Amino acid sequence: MPIAIAEEHLALADSVRALVARTTPSEVLHEALENPVPNPPPYWRAAAEQGLQGVHLAESVGGQGYGILELAIVLAEFGYGAVPGPFVPSAIASALIAAHDPDHALLAELASGDTIAAYAIDSGLTATRHDEVLIIRGEVRAVPAAAQASVLVLPVAIDSGEEWMVLRADELEIVERQSLDPLRPIADVRANAVELGDDRVLNNLSRQRARALMSTLLSAEAVGVSRWATDTAADYAKIREQFGRPIGQFQAIKHKCAHMIATTERATAAVWDAARALDESGDSHYEFAAAVAATLAPVAAQDCAQDCIQVHGGIGFTWEHDANVYYRRALALAACFGRAAEYPQLVVDTATSTGMRGIDIDLDPETEALRTEIRAEVAALKAIPSGPERDTAIAEGGWVQPHLPTPWGRAATPVEQIIIAQEFSTGRVRRPMMGIAAWLIPSIVAYGTDEQQQRFLPVTFRGQMIWCQLFSEPGAGSDLASLTTKAVKVDGGWRITGQKIWTTGAQFSEWGALLARTDPSAPKHQGITYFLLDMKSPGVEVKPLRELTGNAMFNTVFLDDVFVPDDLVLGEVNRGWEVSRNTLTNERVSIGSSEPPFLANLDQFVAFLRDGQFDQIEQNHAGRLIAEGHAAKLLNLRSTLLTLAGGDAMPSAAISKLLAMKTGQGYAEFAVASFGTDGIVGDESTEPGRWVGYLMGSRATTIYGGTSEIQLNIIAERLLGLPRDP
């Protein structure tokens, strides 16, 4: 999805995308590769009439009065169109000036498009004081759009610090240079004893905020490039045929495209959050959020542009193909960030000192009346002594899974669900633990008979019935529809024979959800029935399956002519795949939005870094892991907000699971590697042994609930529309 989520932001993105498509189509981009872009470019006046140069500037200077988030949305669309010329540098320069003084005299000219500005993130300029005058000397190399601008916002070393100053182009020597990206010209800027007053200093703009603004807005353009590369590669993979079928049907291409969209979505979430942080007055964690975006976005743009060329093959390596334009833009953008290693280091430094930016959902003030009502009901539950009586009250009140319809839930809207979760958390009222039952209950609610619901749901909601899921088999894991467990119809029920594997908690479970084939002649997704199995039934044998951790969370379950009565069929006979899809959907959303207790989480990893000593290479690696982990949480937040807006959260959940589990493995791999010879210690009462335990347990996380490879297929087919395997 784009940066935008809210309806008004989506409308803004649509309007900018239409302008870009109309004014800078592909032929304009290729013309700009050969001939200098006019200054101002042909689209400049149309953008000004649409208010884009001033979307983030105050109404008092002719702007639209919005913020950095809205500007980021605009710049992402300009990145998607690889728009030539000085628009992005000028917008960033105006944002720097506005951060110093929202009513600065220059801003009216910038908002109207009458003046073009440029900026630099690093420079060799220094200032010395002589009486009341600052004398500026030095050089700034490779400044984007410097020759097209009449105003430049440049960092200058002053009084042992760094300040940004406003200089006029006619005060400087500007020497144009050949740019890697001809659509984004560059020039060296030299100051030869330029005399200026203190009024040119943007002294209300801190170095930290300046760099956060620049890196966030550059990141916004970068995710636009990344999104174009992903869309273009996927579109080509749908139509390009080799060996008699579309190349997008081959798993190698399908997975490459899925990785592209996952990388893009993660970077987009980070940019969205960084822009929001800069807009929130008093947020002290904007520097962390901006560093996360700068760690992820330029890498996403470059990697996806490269992969786009790879998917296109030889045609992608030609001068005439658009991939040439976007690859050059991605490389140029990466250079504009300065030294790439600085951003992961800043992520580590801020995370271990001032802390990470919180991930919270801010609800409309109109919801406060509802919150007050829910808070009172939670307080009443808390007044009941902890134990069976309270658990019963919580279950009967529909609080365990409030999204379910009454009487099992509260038919709670997404907003109500958020408030309920927040109030139970802040009120420290513990709801009964559902475990795997949380994935199965919605299927019983949706497909169960009244008798089945009354028999199983109340006791499960009270936390008094433990369930397991009997789906996977030795020959049917990710390809679940290939299951061979056989159910034969007999008088009053079914006789079931087969073997299940990877059954979590089966040795402790009283009941199980079981899939078995009831019509072997039907196509493999048909002829399957969903049963509710009493785990004490004759013929059920549970054998704990010891994992590489040494523990036995999983089990093999043997079914030897087990009788299951007709009244324990859930849903219709031979329609069990439909019921199982409901269960699996609940499973994947749950896994994607939580951190398993046996896997190291982001907070633990940051605490580990805070307490240890690591070299620069290790800190760079750690910074990338923190950025990835934080962005994975942001994906979950955006998924929730998308649900609140009435959208489909499942695609984001699939990406979140894919990325979060891999990053969780990375935390443990990093920690164990840092212990050196102590990495062999297996005693989990020690610090090395604890992380070794996390590492061993983490290997399962990219397998259960759908392997990473299956997740990549889901992402490629459902999000990018690539053809399914034959």
Q: Average pLDDT in the 252-259 region?
A: 96
Residue whose token pair is 């005399």 = 195
Confidence (pLDDT) at 651: 62
Q: Is the pLDDT of residue 590 over 50?
A: no
pLDDT (0 to 100) of residue 714: 87
In this predicted structure, what is the pLDDT of residue 319? 96
Can you tell me the mean pLDDT for 276-282?
Answer: 90
Interval 11-29: pLDDT, tens: 999 999 999 999 999 999 9
Asked if residue 649 has pLDDT above 90, the reply is no
Return the DSSP state at 242: E
Q: How far apart are CA 60 and CA 56, in angstroms?
A: 12
Q: Among the ranges 117-131, 290-304, 695-709, which has the highest mean pLDDT value?
A: 290-304
Q: Which of 186-190, 244-248, 274-278, 523-527 has the lowest mean pLDDT?
A: 523-527
Instruction: Quote the mean pLDDT of the chain.
Output: 92
Q: Which tens digit of pLDDT belongs to each residue from 344-372?
A: 999 999 999 999 998 877 777 888 999 99
Of residues 595 and 204, more confidently modeled:
204
Partner residues linked to 173 by β-bridges: 190
Which CATH number describes the domain made up of 7-115?
1.10.540.10
383-421 pLDDT, tens digit per residue, is: 999 999 999 999 999 999 998 999 999 998 888 888 898
b/e 464-489 (16+ beta carbons within 10 angstroms → b): ebbbbbbbbbeebbeebeebebebee
* CATH code assigned to 461-576: 2.40.110.10
Domain boundaries, the chain: 7-115, 461-576, 591-719
Per-residue confidence band for 650, with pLDDT thresholds at 50, 70 and 90: low
Banded pLDDT at 596 (limits 50, 70, 90)? low
**Is it true that 7-115 and 591-719 share their CATH fold?**
no
Residue 601 DSSP symbol: -
pLDDT score, position 525:
86
pLDDT in tens, 501-543: 999 999 999 999 999 999 999 988 899 999 999 999 999 999 9
The one-character DSSP state at 436 is T
The predicted pLDDT at position 648 comes to: 66
CATH number of 591-719: 1.20.140.10
- Which pLDDT band, with edges at 50, 70 and 90, does 594 fall under? low
pLDDT at 435 over 90: no
Q: What is the pTM of this model?
A: 0.91
Mean pLDDT of 572-599: 68
Q: What is the pLDDT of residue 588?
A: 39
CB 532 within 8 A of CB 513: yes
d(CA 592, CA 328): 35
Q: What is the pLDDT of residue 586?
A: 53
* Residue 250 DSSP code: S
C-alpha dist (Å) from residue 365 to 49, 253, 350, 368, 453: 35, 47, 31, 6, 37
Q: Quick check: 724 pLDDT over 80? A: yes
Q: Check residue 721 and give left, alpha or beta (phi > 0: left; psi -120 to 50: alpha).
A: left
Give the pLDDT of residue 589. 39
Q: In whole angstroms, give the CA distance from residue 111 to residue 119.
A: 16
Q: Does residue 673 or residue 482 have the better pLDDT? A: 673
- % residues pLDDT > 70 (the chain): 97
Residue 221 or 412, more confident: 221
| Cα separations in angstroms, 104 against 61, 131, 303 | 8, 25, 39
Give residue 23's pLDDT: 96
Helices and strands: H and E segment counts in the chain: 22, 17
